[in-house]
Amino acid sequence: MIAEIGLASLWLAAVLALLQLAGGVLAFRTDGTGGENPMGMFIRPAAIVQAFFAACSFVALLYVFAVTDLSVKLVAANSHSAKPMIFKLAGSWGNHEGSMLLWVTVMAFSGALIAALERRLPERMMQATLAAQGFVALGFYAFLLFSSNPFERLEVPAPEGMGLNPLLQDIGLALHPPVLYFGYVGLSVAFSFAVGALLTRQVTPEFARVSRPWVLAAWVCLTMGITAGSYWAYYELGWGGWWFWDPVENASLMPWLAATALLHSISVLAARDALRAWTILLGVIAFSMSMLGTFLVRSGILTSVHAFAVDPERGMFILVLLGIYIGGALLLFGLRAGAVAEGERFAATSREGALVVNNVLLSATLGIVLLGTLYPLLTEAFDVRVSVGPNYFNPVSAIFVLPMLVVMAIGPLLRWRRDRLERVMKPLALLTVIGAVVLAIVALVADIAFLPLVGLALAAILAVASFIPLRRRKLTRVPLATWGMVVAHFGIAVALFGMASESAFSSERLAALEVGETAQAGPWRVTLNGVDPVAGPNWTALEGRLAVRAEDASRTSEPIMMAPQSRTFWAPVQQTTESALATRWNGQLYAVLGNQLDDGRWQLRLWWKPFVTFIWYGGLLIAFGGVLSIIGRVRKDLTRRSVRSRLASRRADERALEAAA
Amino acid sequence: MSALKAKHQRLVLGLIALLALVGAGLLAAYALRNQADYFYLPGQMLADPPRPDRDVRLGGMVEEGSLATQPDGVTLAFVVTDKDRARVPVRFSGIVPDLFVEGSGVVAEGRLRSDGVFEASNLLAKHDENYIPRELEDMTKAQAEQIVAETRAADPGT
């Protein structure tokens, strides 16, 4: 019954999205003749009610997963009665259909939010924006209802569920997709605003200010999603790496790159009324990338082109949707871009100039990642099988990322509109010296590869450069948004330091140990005390007991205990390696337990990774900077609005007085 | 900035952006031709061996009876074979994936040494019943069994 209610709610939500779109189209078309179409007044309520029904539908899905209703096909295929409750719930979005439902639910919610609260923009533009939002949502509803129904029943209920892939039974991964989806959907709002602005030909700083919190929020969510996903891959896969240039990872990186560019260009538009058409184009690209990402991951095209052929209906649907939205938006842009008047001008050496360079380089990096991700699909069409990995991505993206980081150090020091490099000569000289000193010291004491070497020097430069915008300013009066920029840029420096240090200084040890034997990994001595069987709620495991001491510590000192496991799940039957991590301020010791050899020894793989944790600390700092910016911007907008309304009411009072007199 | 230049600022900016993107595209196309890791079946690898400095992938079945652990306890030697019984010896140091056994499908990432031994840096095996490395998808279970059977027939000593 609950499943049917969920399905019915989904249909109702789809109808309301249609109403939202139709209302927008009618209101938009008749507006030219003067009178306002009555359909226009339905748009905002439709968006709010649509969110209600989408939420009902999603709650219904959560419910059938929570009670493990095995007559529902999706539950039978992805859940199991003997699974912890949190993973039962997480299982509802750990699959194609459920994740698409989560997508539209979040999207409907953000639509409802702007419909209920956003009153700053001209009503016509809001209607166009909400209509665009409804149009996008409609495509997703159609996709769910016609080819990915999450509430489909089985004719005969399954006796037991198939279970959730054990790799996904992890709290980090349970929460990681929703966070990424919030990011994707936030970009959909920015996209709808861009379409609304194009349709009404009002690409104004006001439009930029209204959509900026959404871009920022989306960007924060993407940053956190990528950071969490990277850490998950790091400890759960047991390969010791933190980024594999896997298509699934790239699918989240590409929208992030586009969102980063959009974030910066929208700031230029808001502050200086320049880069109008470019900002709109980036809005379209950012959302295209998030749709492409979702579909590439969820359709299974990337794991295998053959999966596409297994379910041609779903594959075609995906292609058509992508074509309609991306093609349509680009067509609209092509038609209307000429009508967008050129914005304010600026000199090449100016804050705007630096941001343009940043934008172009980010877009180029995006192009590099996109081509590398799609290339295997292209060659497979010609029956040549390739995979594209770090050999391609690392050096080629570095060509664009390294200059971008240099510009990132200088850009915030420049003034808007027009500046001279001579004015910032002193800080530039300081940064150059810092970079050169770090480069020289590292090159002398350690023999490391070119990219990590440059990375370490750039990290030092950026760490200092990110705080220079604060010099000679009273710290208590610095706007919150500026603090956000400082923290986020510093976060980039921290993450870059972690990446460079990890790839330059990691030491690995592969050993076969008898119980009681000791192996050395980096500055640590690791003793295998024993291997015991342990059991969890839906798995059994062999657990190694490792005692870790620093190499200069005495043998009697208190050791750090580590317990890597080799787990066997029984629903579905699968083995996973659970790595064990010992975190110190200056790095992480990473241990993986392998197989037992015929002579009784145990395989053990150990890494000492200096400062690897800084990668994720950096990611968190970047996201935190974004949060500071959002708070700062929204607070400023609220004060501005209350001042304006107070002015308006005073003016009204004066007028009333005059009329009375 | 001169008046003429200022008038066409948008055009100039657009051109610069376009140029950078086209440059990135060309660079990507060039790099992809040279840096993509090609996939080989054992037969292809024997017929047309890749250069020793190129990362490639080798996919096939682990030959029955070929799997041996070296005395150090962490280095494995085995032979990857295909349905034409081409055989490529492989070395791998590390912890093997959970479902890596003789007779199973495997994709090895690494380089072919000039002495004809494939030095694997990573092994991808079947993760679970639903997931097969995409390169092995064309080999159905029946084919795999046939390979194993043929290998046995060809090498009765094991």
Scored b (16 or more CB within 10 A) or e, B127-139 reads bbeebbbbbbeeb
Whether B99 and chain A come into contact, CB under 8 Å, resolves to: yes
Peptide bond into A533 cis (omega under 30): no
How confident is the model at residue B12, as a pLDDT?
82
The span from the CA of A53 to the CA of A14, in Å, is 9
Scored b (16 or more CB within 10 A) or e, A537-562 reads ebbebbbbbbbbbeeeeeeeeebeeb
How confident is the model at residue A121, as a pLDDT?
83
- Per the CB < 8 A criterion, the answer to whether B150 and B143 are in contact is no
Which residues fall within 8 angstroms of residue A146, CB to CB, at 6 or more apart?
A317
Whole-prediction pTM: 0.90
Closest CA to B94 of A518, A238, A233: A238
The span from the CA of A61 to the CA of A75, in Å, is 9
The span from the CA of A538 to the CA of A570, in Å, is 7
A214 within domain boundaries: no
Enclosing H/E stretch for A435: helix A425-445
Residue A500 half-sphere exposure, CB side, CA atoms within 13 Å? Answer: 25
Q: What is the pLDDT of residues A260-295, one digit of tens each?
A: 999 999 999 998 888 888 899 999 999 999 888 877
User: Best mutation site among B8, B18, B19, B37 for testing chain A: the one with the most A CBs within 10 Å?
Assistant: B37
Average pLDDT rounded to a whole number, residues A3-16: 94
User: Best mutation site among B12, B13, B75 for testing chain A: the one with the most A CBs within 10 Å?
Assistant: B13
Whether B22 and chain A come into contact, CB under 8 Å, resolves to: no
How far is the first Cα of chain B from the last one, in angstroms, to the nearest whole number? 82
Angle at which helix A205-236 crosses helix A247-272, to 10 degrees, equals 160
The span from the CA of A267 to the CA of A395, in Å, is 30
How confident is the model at residue A167, as a pLDDT?
66
CA distance A577 to chain B (A): 8
Inter-chain Cβ pairs, chain A and chain B, closer than 8 A = 127
Banded pLDDT at A476 (limits 50, 70, 90): confident
Number of domains in chain A: 2
How confident is the model at residue A303, as a pLDDT?
54
Where is the domain boundary, A164, A183, A207? A164
A21 within domain boundaries: yes
Q: Which of A342, A385, A573 sits opposite B39 (nearest CB)?
A: A385
pLDDT at A16 over 80: yes
Average pLDDT rounded to a whole number, residues A335-360: 84
For B103, other C-beta atoms within 10 Å of its C-beta total 17
CA distance B130 to chain A (A): 10
User: A520: domain range?
Assistant: 509-610
A110 within domain boundaries: yes
- Per the CB < 8 A criterion, the answer to whether A593 and A606 are in contact is no
Enclosing H/E stretch for A561: strand A560-562
The span from the CA of A78 to the CA of A161, in Å, is 7
Cβ–Cβ of A574/B24 closer than 8 Å?
Answer: no
Q: State both tokens at A480.
A: 């919150």
Whether B131 and chain A come into contact, CB under 8 Å, resolves to: yes
The span from the CA of A551 to the CA of A555, in Å, is 9
For residue B87, give Cα distances in angstroms to A175, B60, B105, B116, B147.
Answer: 45, 9, 14, 10, 12
Cβ–Cβ of B20/A239 closer than 8 Å?
Answer: no
Cβ–Cβ of A391/B55 closer than 8 Å?
Answer: yes
Stronger pLDDT, A598 or B144, i.e. the higher one: A598
Strand A524-535 and strand A386-387: the pairing is: unpaired
Q: State both tokens at A6.
A: 């969920």
Residue of A nearest to B36 (CA): A388
Where is the domain boundary, A129, A164, A199? A164
Nearest 5°: the CA angle A605, A607, A611 is 160
Whether B27 and chain A come into contact, CB under 8 Å, resolves to: yes
**SS3 per residue for A349-363:** CCHHHHHHHHHHHHH
Q: How many residues in chain B?
A: 158
Q: What is the DSSP letter of A237?
A: S
Residue A146 phi, psi dihedral angles, 5° rounding: -95, -25
Q: What is the ipTM of this complex?
A: 0.80
Cβ–Cβ of B137/A306 closer than 8 Å?
Answer: yes
Q: What is the DSSP letter of B137?
A: T
- Per the CB < 8 A criterion, the answer to whether A564 and A593 are in contact is yes
Which residues does chain A have within 8 Å of residue B10's beta carbon, measured at their own beta carbons? 277, 342
Q: Which of helix, strand or coil describes residue A86?
A: helix
Cβ–Cβ of A367/B32 closer than 8 Å?
Answer: no
pLDDT at B1 over 50: no
The span from the CA of A281 to the CA of A293, in Å, is 18
* 133-172 in chain A: CB under 8 A from chain B: 165, 167
How confident is the model at residue B143, as a pLDDT?
53
Stronger pLDDT, A489 or A176, i.e. the higher one: A489
Whether A339 and chain B come into contact, CB under 8 Å, resolves to: no
Where is the domain boundary, A164, A185, A212? A164
Q: Which residue has the tokens 């959509």?
A: A211
Average pLDDT rounded to a whole number, residues A124-138: 91
- Per the CB < 8 A criterion, the answer to whether A497 and A616 are in contact is no
Q: Helices (H) and strands (E) in chain B — how many of each?
A: 4, 7
Closest CA to A265 of A225, A207, A339, A220: A207
A364 within domain boundaries: no
CA distance B122 to chain A (A): 9
Q: Which of A391, A573, A603 sits opposite B73 (nearest CB)?
A: A603
A635 within domain boundaries: no
* 532-591 in chain A: CB under 8 A from chain B: 566, 572-577
As a whole-number percent, the residues of chain A with pLDDT over 70 amount to: 95
Stronger pLDDT, A72 or A496, i.e. the higher one: A496
User: What amino acid is encoded at A61 in this protein?
Assistant: L
Report, in angstroms and rounded to the nearest whole number, the Rg of chain A calculated over CA atoms: 27
Which residues fall within 8 angstroms of residue A259, CB to CB, at 6 or more apart?
A183, A187, A215, A218, A219, A222, A286
Cβ–Cβ of A361/B20 closer than 8 Å?
Answer: yes
How confident is the model at residue A122, as a pLDDT?
86
Banded pLDDT at B4 (limits 50, 70, 90): very low
For residue A650, give Cα distances in angstroms to A640, A647, A655.
Answer: 15, 5, 9
Tell whether B131 is in a known binding site.
yes
Lowest mean pLDDT among A154-163, A629-638, B29-38, B51-60: A154-163
Tell whether B8 is in a known binding site.
no
Closest CA to A54 of A140, A152, A162, A158: A140
User: Best mutation site among B95, B121, B138 for testing chain A: the one with the most A CBs within 10 Å?
Assistant: B95
pLDDT at B146 over 80: no
Residue of A nearest to B107 (CA): A387
A641 within domain boundaries: no
What is the rounded average pLDDT for all residues in chain A? Answer: 87
Residue A319 backbone zone (phi > 0: left; psi -120 to 50: alpha; other: beta): alpha
Stronger pLDDT, A165 or A184, i.e. the higher one: A184
Q: What is the pLDDT of residues B109-125, one digit of tens each?
A: 999 999 999 999 888 76
Q: What is the pLDDT of residues B29-69, one digit of tens each?
A: 999 988 888 888 898 899 989 998 889 989 888 888 888 88
Q: What is the DSSP letter of A327?
A: I
A525 within domain boundaries: yes
The span from the CA of B84 to the CA of A256, in Å, is 46
pLDDT at B133 over 80: no
Which residues fall within 8 angstroms of residue A265, CB to CB, at 6 or more apart?
A275, A278, A279, A282, A355, A359
Scored b (16 or more CB within 10 A) or e, B71-98 reads eebbebebbbbbbeebbbbbbbebbbbb
How confident is the model at residue B150, as a pLDDT?
47
How confident is the model at residue A180, as a pLDDT?
87
A4 within domain boundaries: yes
CA distance A123 to chain B (A): 30
Average pLDDT rounded to a whole number, residues B82-87: 83
DSSP string computed for A606-658: EEEEETTTHHHHHHHHHHHHHHHHHHHHHHHHHHHHHHHHHHHHHHHHHHHHH
Average pLDDT rounded to a whole number, residues A159-163: 76
Average pLDDT rounded to a whole number, residues A516-536: 91
As a whole-number percent, the residues of chain A with pLDDT over 90 amount to: 47
The span from the CA of A117 to the CA of A48, in Å, is 11
The residues that bridge with A451 in the sheet, in sequence order, are none
Residue B96 half-sphere exposure, CB side, CA atoms within 13 Å? Answer: 27
